[in-house]
């Protein structure tokens, strides 16, 4: 599937890639996927790598791996303590305000106690198209920049679904009618959610490290088609 990944940053301690959509970070018990990032990246860099965080199968963008257990432990601690600033871009259904904050606790499943989950966003652009998907005569979409303060349980996808502006292409929490339109009429068969940036204090260089991933071709095509 993916023989090599675009490397955004690499040194003796970390390797950072621009994750493509449609591939899992590592095998899971409930997935039948035989191709995942972890073994492919191990072969690409020629050594074992340790995942620092996760991105959903459908999400693209900045993905960080440690090259040794010490680096993985240090970076994992930064993520847990919310010292890593995250930036995402997404195309969502409908119009949203210029900026907003979603404070809605989330649980891994209904048997668990909900945990604090906060997502802030800024609207970059919005568009209205002359076709009907669902009950309205026209269809509206927004391009948003997202800053999650936490990162729990498909947080961004669930938060935007909660405010009734689901991410386009989200098969689990999204709008199946709009997803079908994008897939069949626009030729866009991916979730339009991209981890565009991460920043944190990098102890090995003793300075702030900014990691950025450019949007992929399909995401850019979607923005162009929608005139966002």
- The predicted-structure confidence for 44-82, as pLDDT tens digits, reads as follows 999 999 999 999 999 999 999 999 999 999 999 999 888
What would the pLDDT profile of 101-150 be if each residue is shown by its tens digit? 999 999 988 888 899 999 999 999 999 999 898 788 999 999 999 999 98
Mean of pLDDT values over 162-168: 98
Mean of pLDDT values over 177-205: 96
109 is catalytic: no
**Phi, psi for 114 (deg, rounded to 5):** -60, 145
Whether the CB-CB separation of 37 and 5 falls below 8 Å is answered with: yes
Beta strands in 20-174 (DSSP E): 50-51, 60-66, 85-93, 99-103, 118-129, 139-148
DSSP summary character for residue 52: -
- Closest alpha carbon to 205 in 44, 17, 74, 47: 74
What CATH class is the domain 6-226? Answer: alpha beta
Whole-structure pTM value? 0.94
Catalytic residue among 12, 56, 103, 130: 56
| Average pLDDT of the chain to the nearest whole number | 93
Question: Would you give the distance in Å from CA 102 to the centre of its chain?
Answer: 17
């Amino acid at each position: 599937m993916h023989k090599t990944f675009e490397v955004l940053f690499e040194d003796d301690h970390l390797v950072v890639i621009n994750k493509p959509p449609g591939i899992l970070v590592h095998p899971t018990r409930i997935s039948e996927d035989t191709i995942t990032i972890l073994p492919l990246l191990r072969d690409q860099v020629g050594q074992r790598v340790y995942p620092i965080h996760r991105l959903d199968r459908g999400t693209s963008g900045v993905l960080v791996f440690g090259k040794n257990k010490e680096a993985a432990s240090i970076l994992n601690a930064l993520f847990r303590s919310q010292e890593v600033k995250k930036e995402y871009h997404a195309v969502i259904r409908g119009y949203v305000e210029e900026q907003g904050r979603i404070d809605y606790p989330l649980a891994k499943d209904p048997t668990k106690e909900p945990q604090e989950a906060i997502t802030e966003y800024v609207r970059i652009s919005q568009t209205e198209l002359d076709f009907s998907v669902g009950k309205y005569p026209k269809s509206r979409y927004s391009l948003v920049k997202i800053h999650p303060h936490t990162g729990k349980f498909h947080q961004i996808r669930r938060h935007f679904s909660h405010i009734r502006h689901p991410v386009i292409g989200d098969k689990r929490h999204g709008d199946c009618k709009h997803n079908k339109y994008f897939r069949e009429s626009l030729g866009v068969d991916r979730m339009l959610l991209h981890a565009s940036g991460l920043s944190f204090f990098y102890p090995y260089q003793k300075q702030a490290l900014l990691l950025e991933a450019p949007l992929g071709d399909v995401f850019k095509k979607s923005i162009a088609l929608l005139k966002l």
